[in-house]
């Protein structure tokens, strides 16, 4: 994966000073090549309000919207205690198995919050060709993935529980496992869960 990073001047600086700083080499975009074990997908902020019928809104987002982070063009601001950075990511190689970690939990100074947004994802034929750099696309003949496992977090961040959906390759059937319980599950039901990790 290629990671492009650009340091940003402090937002409170005067415009002339910002423009001058942006000319320094310290503020120019840098690129590093990095390997990855999994891809972290950032969820959009969940709405805080009920809809006009006073019912809770169940926020949803398509998988390909949050995968746009890896298209090489989408920039995201990252803040540290002292500095701000713009980063963008581009995939240069696809592994035989791919792991998505959907970032559901955020921690602030006081507590951990969970984002309940449902990610709408296809179970088969997730094609990542458009997220590869152009020169790498030709080298990858197979760029599609099928879901084989889906880990779900239910409940509050501090006292929730986990369950897993697993595909049995021999029969093509999906099973849900939670503790010692194993039950059949329809593939359509998997996409309605608060997925946390996907293989």
12-27 per-position pLDDT tens digit: 777 777 777 777 777 7
145-181 per-position pLDDT tens digit: 999 999 999 888 888 889 999 999 899 999 999 988 9
DSSP symbols for 133-193: -HHHHTT-S--EE---EEEEEES-TTT-EEEEEEEETTTTEEEEEETTEEEEE-HHHHTTS
Could you tell me the residue ranges of all domains in the chain?
2-198
Written out in words, the top-level CATH class of the domain with range 2-198 is alpha beta
Share of the chain residues as helix, strand and coil, in percent rounded to the nearest 5: 15, 40, 45
Query: What CA–CA distance (Å, rounded) separates 161 from 106?
Result: 17
53-95 per-position pLDDT tens digit: 666 677 889 999 999 999 888 888 887 777 788 888 988 888 8
């Amino acid at each position: 994966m290629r990671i492009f990073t650009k340091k940003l001047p402090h937002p409170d600086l005067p415009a002339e000073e910002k423009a001058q700083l942006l000319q320094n080499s310290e503020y120019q975009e840098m690129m590093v090549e990095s390997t990855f074990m999994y891809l972290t997908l950032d969820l959009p902020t969940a709405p805080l309000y009920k809809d006009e019928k006073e019912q809770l809104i169940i926020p949803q987002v398509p998988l390909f919207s949050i995968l746009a982070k890896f298209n090489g063009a989408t920039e995201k601001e990252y803040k540290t205690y002292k500095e701000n950075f713009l980063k963008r990511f581009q995939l240069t190689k696809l592994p035989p198995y791919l792991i998505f970690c959907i970032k559901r939990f955020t921690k602030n100074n006081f507590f951990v919050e969970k984002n309940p947004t449902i990610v709408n994802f296809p179970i088969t034929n997730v094609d990542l060709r458009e997220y590869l750099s152009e020169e790498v696309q030709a080298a990858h003949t197979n760029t599609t993935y099928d879901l084989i496992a889906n880990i779900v977090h239910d409940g509050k961040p501090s006292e929730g529980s986990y369950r897993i959906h697993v595909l049995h390759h021999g029969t093509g059937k999906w099973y849900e496992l939670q503790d010692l319980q194993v039950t059949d599950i329809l593939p359509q039901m998997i996409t309605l869960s608060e997925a946390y990790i996907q293989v």
